[in-house]
């Protein structure tokens, strides 16, 4: 065995005699915080030349005058990091005075008072006073340790603060010369990578500026990588800290008269008080081959040895691919389930193949309320009720765990006012923040939730209170806990903390988790945990992490962990496919986590999920617990067709592979698979949901149905085949597009080949870092010359072979204070005639739109994207994945006519312009017919509505108030009605019944009046209860599906609303974006007047029909209100080629449509009558400009 080379410490001098440096007598300084001993060692004589530490792998040179890091040489890579003259440094300190002013101490400006050899490395000491940049002196003593550790160097910093100030920041080691990283031929190809949700990468070149990310918090792992792609060489730079505390990875540019340079350091923020000591974390520097990907294994090795890692086989939560989650009680009082419902609720999951369930909102106050009262809410049942429910689950083979938090507590609770306020996570100014998550009412969902703040679990009193309650759950039968909102405050300046501001919240969370986990496993050896976080330290206790994106990069380093994808929409087939394709946990929460998978609208998706999970379970050793190979180790016969994606997995036990194919298109696609690498001619088994598996020999052509998933399982190698066999060659793709194809529609060439572009357009790979959701690697972006640049992007002409063009768009159609709208994409005929156009959705997340080419099939057309926004902000526009699409023939067929008027069921109000029908039973508005346009505004009368309002019920404490005490107008029997001329008056006498069955002394009167070309609606609520009236929705026009007489026309209807002095538009009947992910409502949108609505009106406009519907609040009091839209029964969360609405064949006879209403937050006192603002509806020819004219004419007349 070769002998390990010992580090070599030597002096290099330019003078014959070294200059000795006087040292104080050795002393030991007892550090009060953490028992740190700060030691200064005897001196070694040094000369004027650098002191050199040579480890064999690298060479470190230290300036003997000030201790600066003068040079670091990577011998193997021939990389020399030498800061520009005068900039070399070692550390930097920031002192924070009582007046909050900072004093900066540069290490390079200090005289080194000691340098000694220790443990094969160096100890450097600066035995103050230290000088700040303004000439002031400070009684500080600093010591650094530099130690070789195998191929690495390890730096540590210690200080004793004998000043009157706090040491707010400590930067070290200051490693400069980064602009010279790489050999001469590799200059300009150096980058720095920091691990966030995805790699955060920045080129290391001048000008660089400054950048810093915090760990924990922004970074999910504690390392960085500086690498050069041409040299294929990198430097691992990491804080190997065994203490959970905040730090920054800082990269910054420095300048001197000689030049500029870029430095790296770890920035601790200890806020060390006067008289205390600080011990920094070990900072590790190591050169290695490769780029940033090669840094992960180095970090993993240290992490697993230091902290350990939860074995997936010992965590039952990690072994679940789908989990049902339901909030039993919402914070505003909506009751979804009780403990007695648990057996039925769990059976719904089990019957669809899901054997793990999460109970949320089970405690006092309900979900995201009542914290930290983690005990059963009396409305749900008792501990005994809960125990019986859990026993029933266990008998049917279902495991149950519970939703909890560590930090959030209710500010308005008596507990907080009496005790918990002492444990809050404080800002430096002594204040604390407030937040909340609303669900059960619109007011709450719009940001007015019950307030909570964060407390620090490092306080023993609070930690013990949590432990007592959590362990009680385990004793009752809980199989595990999910800890949500694991986002500790970065710094906690609460003066009562045992630990420093940078440590308290983080170390407190670790210590609580460790104690909880150990104690719970003593009760239940199979107890398991999951977390909502982006912090790798939690992997010690559980490796199931919420959500996709928080820890995606972490999985490449720690494949034992898995991320979670929410599946809450009833038609999200693509979401199920993605969860399986990317080996994620599907958290199944129908109706925003308010129903079980047995909920009727979920019938089709639940059956599909059961089938997909059945196959996934059978192949789980590869596709769920195996190695993710991505696109490696498989040979395709051709590149995947449009919409087809694939991912390859390998079992760690059998090494057999599985390829998962998904198809996001509507039509089936075929994919040729030549072979798994090394297995030419072997056999495979093809698994398709709801079909029997079939075996086939390679190569094989696999059919992937539209919007479905297929598993191709490797069975055996061909005779004589082996894993070392040379993989077969792939079939070359045609070099020319098929007739009629859109050339380079996905911009995957990396340029604008096939398109004619003005200079502002370019193919981009998310240079600005803000876009989400594009396909492939590139998209077309209008920001190549800055936001204010304008221009057009035109495709080559092509033959329209389908019914239209579907593409992804992102960007802005207006901006704050704008007086016009901008940016659009259009489908045009060969002569430039516009066939259809769409505008971006004011979002940087790509969304699909459809350019309707109905009637133009077979013609020559082109696509044109126009950026006509000349503003410096909110003006960029992007498109991607431009493709032709064929729509189902049913979309072109005329819609079924509505039932004829039935005098026994309905009341009719009619003039030359309209026919309005109202239910005799409930007073719901079931029909509004535009006679001139022959258009039905309400096409789904089963969703008809009229009004609803709340009567909030005060609680003993404010957080116990039940705000969601709704009275639904369509649920009340109509007492009487009266038709007088062109006016219909409807009366609901007291008492009215809430949706939970309680009766209240309240009555309502609604009026519908035909006034010429308009319909005027009014509402009066007579309240004789002791409760105030809260929210009032009026009128509720339910069952709106667009304007037109075919499905295609309905989908072409847009929503237009006033913004600034212009308008914003969206295709809500094609793609209904959901603003709220929580609550027991369908997908919803809301626009607050006068904030989001410049004026309280909206238009539904169909450009093909040149017909529009104006709906406005004609409120003489000009009160604030909300335009509200709700889509029932829900959408497809992951957009499809034809939008995200449910298709008729998916509804299983259920109604689908949008409910449109204006909402007033009345807050009308008890005993008073509330008059809602009149609402006017008018159908007219033309577009939104006519609606704007109608509103402004009324506004002037009032």
Strands of the sheet containing 58-62, edge to edge, are: 8-11, 51-54, 58-62, 69-74, 79-81
User: Whole-angstrom Cα distance, residue 519 to residue 474?
Assistant: 10
pLDDT of residue 776: 82
Sequence-ordered list of residues with C-beta below 8 angstroms from that of 491, at least 6 positions apart, any chain:
246, 269, 271, 428, 501, 502, 505
Contact 418, 337 (CB under 8 A): no
The residue among 642, 706, 638, 639 whose CA lies nearest residue 668 is 706
The DSSP 8-state label assigned to residue 603 in this structure reads H
Among 187-196, 249-258, 844-853, the range of highest mean pLDDT: 249-258
Element at 587 (helix H, strand E) = strand 585-588
What would the mean pLDDT of 866-883 be, rounded to a whole number? 92
User: Whole-angstrom Cα distance, residue 1195 to residue 1179?
Assistant: 19
Whole-prediction pTM value? 0.91
- Worst-scoring range by mean pLDDT, 467-471, 656-660, 762-766, 1073-1077? 762-766
pLDDT of residue 185: 56
Q: Residue 11 above 90 pLDDT?
A: no
Residue in the block written with tokens 């210690």 = 158
Give the model confidence (pLDDT) of 1138-1158 as tens digits.
Answer: 899 999 999 999 999 999 999
Give the model confidence (pLDDT) of 423-433 as tens digits.
Answer: 999 999 999 99
DSSP string, 463-486: HHHHHHHHHHHHHHT--EEEEE--
- Worst-scoring range by mean pLDDT, 19-33, 478-492, 857-871, 912-926? 19-33
pLDDT band at 819, cuts 50/70/90? low
Contact 144, 123 (CB under 8 A): yes
Backbone torsions φ then ψ of 876, nearest 5 degrees: -75, 160
Residue in the block written with tokens 């005929």 = 829
Q: Residue 125 above 80 pLDDT?
A: yes
pLDDT band at 341, cuts 50/70/90? very high
Give the model confidence (pLDDT) of 416-425 as tens digits.
Answer: 999 999 999 9
DSSP string, 301-331: HHHHHHT----GGG-TTTT-SEEEEEESB-T
Higher pLDDT, 768 or 581: 581
Mean pLDDT of all residues belonging to the chain: 91
pLDDT of residue 893: 84
pLDDT of residue 485: 97
The DSSP 8-state label assigned to residue 1173 in this structure reads P
What would the mean pLDDT of 337-356 be, rounded to a whole number? 98
Name the token pair of 740: 């009629």
Q: Residue 101 above 70 pLDDT?
A: yes
pLDDT of residue 167: 98
Element at 443 (helix H, strand E) = helix 442-445
pLDDT band at 7, cuts 50/70/90? very low
Give the model confidence (pLDDT) of 664-689 as tens digits.
Answer: 999 899 999 999 999 988 999 999 99
- Worst-scoring range by mean pLDDT, 167-176, 283-292, 866-875, 927-936? 866-875
Give the model confidence (pLDDT) of 927-962 as tens digits.
Answer: 999 999 999 999 999 999 999 999 999 999 999 999
What would the mean pLDDT of 330-347 be, rounded to a whole number? 98
Higher pLDDT, 855 or 135: 135
What would the mean pLDDT of 343-361 be, rounded to a whole number? 98
The residue among 265, 271, 188, 259 whose CA lies nearest residue 228 is 188
Q: Residue 99 above 80 pLDDT?
A: yes
Higher pLDDT, 155 or 836: 155
Higher pLDDT, 1198 or 1136: 1136
Q: Residue 909 above 60 pLDDT?
A: yes
Q: Residue 41 above 90 pLDDT?
A: no
CA neighbours closer than 13 Å in the CB half-sphere of residue 56: 11
User: Whole-angstrom Cα distance, residue 340 to residue 345?
Assistant: 9
User: Whole-angstrom Cα distance, residue 751 to residue 742?
Assistant: 15
User: Whole-angstrom Cα distance, residue 972 to residue 988?
Assistant: 7
Q: Residue 383 above 90 pLDDT?
A: yes
Domains of the chain: 28-306 (2.70.98), 316-608 (3.20.20.80), 619-716 (2.60.40.1180), 755-808+822-881 (2.60.120), 906-1197 (2.70.98)
pLDDT of residue 183: 63
Give the model confidence (pLDDT) of 506-518 as tens digits.
Answer: 999 999 999 999 9
- Angle at alpha carbon of residue 551, lines to 546 and 553, rounded to 5°: 155
pLDDT of residue 929: 97
What is the percentage of the chain residues whose pLDDT exceeds 90?
84
Give the model confidence (pLDDT) of 177-194 as tens digits.
Answer: 998 897 655 566 899 999
Give the model confidence (pLDDT) of 689-748 as tens digits.
Answer: 999 999 999 999 999 999 999 999 999 754 443 333 333 333 333 333 444 579 999 999
- Worst-scoring range by mean pLDDT, 230-239, 799-808, 1168-1177? 799-808
Q: How far is CA 156 from the centre of its chain?
A: 36
Give the model confidence (pLDDT) of 643-659 as tens digits.
Answer: 899 999 999 999 999 99
- Worst-scoring range by mean pLDDT, 241-250, 551-560, 568-577, 879-888? 879-888
pLDDT band at 817, cuts 50/70/90? low
Instruction: Tally Cβ neighbours within 10 Å of residue 37.
Output: 11
pLDDT band at 48, cuts 50/70/90? low
- Please tell me the total number of residues recorded for the chain in this structure: 1198
pLDDT of residue 740: 53
pLDDT band at 847, cuts 50/70/90? confident
- Virtual torsion, Cα 59, 64, 68, 69, nearest 10 deg: 0
pLDDT band at 40, cuts 50/70/90? very low
Give the model confidence (pLDDT) of 587-639 as tens digits.
Answer: 999 999 999 999 999 999 999 999 999 999 999 999 999 999 999 999 999 98
pLDDT of residue 38: 32
């Amino acid at each position: 065995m070769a002998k390990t080379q010992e580090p070599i410490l030597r002096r290099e001098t330019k003078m014959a005699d070294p200059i000795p440096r006087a040292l104080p007598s050795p002393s030991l300084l007892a550090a009060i915080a953490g028992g740190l001993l700060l030691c200064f060692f005897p001196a070694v004589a040094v000369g004027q030349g650098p002191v050199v530490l040579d480890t064999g792998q690298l060479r470190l040179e230290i300036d003997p005058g000030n201790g600066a890091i003068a040079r670091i040489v990577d011998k193997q890579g021939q990389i020399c990091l030498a800061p520009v003259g005068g900039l070399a440094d070692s550390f930097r300190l920031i002192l924070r005075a009582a007046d909050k002013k900072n004093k900066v101490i540069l290490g390079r400006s200090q005289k080194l008072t000691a340098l000694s050899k220790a443990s094969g490395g160096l100890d450097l000491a600066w035995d103050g006073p230290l000088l700040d940049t303004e000439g002031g002196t400070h009684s500080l003593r600093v010591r650094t340790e530099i130690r070789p550790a195998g191929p690495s160097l390890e730096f540590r910093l210690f200080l004793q603060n004998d000043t009157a100030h706090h040491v707010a920041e400590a930067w070290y080691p200051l490693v400069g010369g980064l602009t010279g990283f790489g050999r001469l031929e590799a200059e300009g190809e150096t980058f720095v990578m920091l691990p966030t949700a995805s790699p955060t990468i920045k080129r290391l070149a001048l000008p660089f500026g400054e950048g810093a990310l915090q760990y924990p918090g922004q970074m999910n792992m504690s390392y960085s990588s500086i690498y050069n792609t041409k040299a294929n060489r990198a430097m691992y730079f990491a804080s190997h800290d065994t203490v959970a505390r905040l730090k920054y990875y800082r990269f910054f540019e420095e300048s001197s008269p000689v030049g500029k340079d870029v430095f790296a350091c770890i920035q601790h923020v200890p806020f060390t008080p006067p008289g205390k000591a600080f011990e920094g974390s070990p900072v590790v520097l190591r050169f290695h081959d490769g780029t940033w990907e090669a840094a992960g294994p180095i970090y993993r090795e240290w992490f697993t040895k230091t902290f350990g890692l939860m074995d997936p086989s010992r965590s039952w939560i990690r072994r679940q691919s789908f989990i049902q989650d339901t909030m039993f009680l919402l914070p505003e009082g909506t009751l979804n389930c009780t403990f007695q419902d648990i057996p039925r609720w769990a059976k719904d999951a089990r019957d669809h193949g899901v054997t793990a369930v999460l109970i949320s909102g089970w405690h006092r106050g309900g979900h995201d309320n009542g914290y930290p009262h983690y005990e059963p809410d009396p409305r749900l049942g008792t501990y005994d009720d809960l125990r019986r429910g859990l026993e029933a689950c266990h008998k049917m083979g279902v495991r149950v765990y519970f939703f909890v938090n560590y930090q959030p507590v209710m500010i308005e609770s008596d507990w907080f006012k009496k005790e918990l306020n002492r444990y809050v996570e404080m800002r430096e100014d002594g204040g604390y923040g407030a937040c909340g998550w609303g669900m059960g009412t619109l007011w709450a969902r719009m940001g007015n939730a019950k307030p909570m703040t964060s407390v620090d679990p490092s306080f023993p009193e609070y930690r013990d209170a949590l432990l007592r309650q959590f362990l009680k759950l385990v004793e009752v039968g809980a199989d595990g806990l999910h800890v949500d909102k694991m986002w500790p405050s970065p710094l906690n300046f609460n003066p009562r903390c045992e630990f420093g501001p940078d440590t308290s919240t983080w170390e407190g969370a670790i210590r609580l988790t460790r104690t909880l986990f150990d104690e719970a496993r003593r009760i239940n050896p199979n107890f398991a945990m999951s977390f909502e976080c982006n912090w790798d330290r939690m992997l010690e206790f559980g490796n199931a992490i919420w959500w996709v994106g928080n820890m995606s990069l972490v999985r490449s380093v720690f494949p034992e962990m898995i991320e979670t994808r929410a599946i809450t929409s009833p038609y999200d087939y693509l979401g199920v496919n993605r969860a399986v394709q990317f080996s994620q946990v599907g958290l199944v929460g129908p109706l925003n986590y308010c129903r079980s998978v047995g909920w009727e609208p979920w019938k089709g998706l639940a059956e599909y999920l059961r089938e997909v999970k059945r196959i996934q379970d059978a192949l789980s050793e590869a596709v769920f617990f195996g190695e993710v190979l991505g696109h490696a180790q498989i040979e395709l016969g051709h590149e995947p067709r449009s919409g087809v994606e694939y991912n390859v997995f390998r079992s760690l036990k059998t090494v057999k592979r599985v390829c998962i194919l998904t198809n996001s298109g509507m039509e089936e696609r075929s994919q040729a698979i030549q072979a798994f690498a090394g297995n030419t001619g072997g056999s495979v088994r093809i698994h398709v949901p709801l079909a029997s598996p079939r075996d086939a020999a390679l190569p094989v052509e696999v059919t992937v149905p539209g919007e479905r998933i297929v598993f191709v399982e490797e069975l055996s190698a061909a005779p004589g085949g082996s894993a070392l066999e040379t993989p077969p060659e792939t079939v070359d793709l045609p070099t020319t597009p098929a007739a009629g194809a859109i050339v380079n529609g996905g911009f995957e060439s990396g340029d604008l080949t096939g398109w004619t572009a003005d200079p502002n357009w370019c193919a981009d790979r998310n240079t600005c870092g803000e876009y989400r959701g594009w396909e492939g690697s590139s998209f077309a972006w209008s920001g190549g010359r800055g936001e204010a640049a304008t221009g057009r992007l035109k495709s080559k002409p092509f033959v329209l072979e389908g019914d239209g063009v579907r593409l992804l768009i992102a960007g802005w159609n207006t901006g704050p204070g704008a007086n016009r709208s901008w940016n659009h994409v259009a489908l045009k005929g060969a002569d430039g005639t516009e066939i259809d156009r769409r505008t971006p959705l004011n979002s940087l997340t790509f969304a699909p739109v459809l350019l309707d080419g109905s009637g133009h099939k077979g013609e020559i057309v082109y696509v044109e994207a126009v950026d006509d926004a000349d503003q410096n902000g909110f003006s960029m526009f992007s498109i991607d994945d431009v493709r032709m699409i064929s729509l189902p023939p049913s979309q072109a067929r005329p819609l079924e006519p509505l039932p004829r008027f039935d005098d026994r069921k309905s009341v009719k109000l009619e003039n030359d312009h309209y026919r309005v029908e109202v239910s005799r039973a409930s007073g719901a508005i079931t029909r509004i017919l535009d006679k001139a346009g022959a258009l039905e505004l309400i096409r789904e009368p089963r969703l008809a509505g009229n009004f609803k309002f709340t009567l909030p019920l005060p609680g003993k404490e404010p957080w116990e108030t039940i705000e969601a005490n709704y009275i639904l107008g369509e649920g009340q029997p109509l007492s009487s009605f009266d038709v007088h001329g062109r006016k219909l008056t409807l009366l609901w006498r007291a008492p009215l019944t809430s949706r939970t069955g309680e009766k209240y002394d309240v009555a309502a009167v609604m009026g519908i009046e035909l006034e010429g070309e308009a319909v005027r609606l009014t509402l009066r609520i007579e309240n004789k209860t002791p409760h105030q009236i809260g929210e009032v929705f009026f009128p509720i026009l339910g069952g709106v599906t667009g304007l037109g007489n075919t499905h295609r026309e309905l989908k072409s209807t847009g929503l237009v609303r006033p913004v600034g002095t212009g308008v914003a538009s969206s295709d809500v009947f094609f793609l209904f974006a959901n603003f709220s992910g929580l609550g027991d409502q369908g997908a919803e949108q809301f626009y607050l007047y006068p904030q989001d609505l410049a004026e309280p009106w909206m238009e539904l406009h169909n450009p093909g029909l040149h017909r529009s519907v104006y709906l406005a609040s004609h409120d003489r009091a000009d009160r604030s209100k909300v335009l509200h839209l709700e889509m029932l029964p829900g959408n497809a969360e992951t957009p499809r080629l034809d939008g995200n609405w449910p298709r008729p064949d998916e509804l299983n006879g259920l109604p689908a449509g949008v409910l449109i209403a204006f909402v007033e937050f009345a807050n009308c006192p008890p005993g008073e009558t509330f008059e809602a603002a009149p609402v006017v509806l008018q159908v007219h020819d033309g577009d939104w400009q006519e609606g704007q004219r109608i509103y402004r004419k009324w506004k002037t007349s009032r």
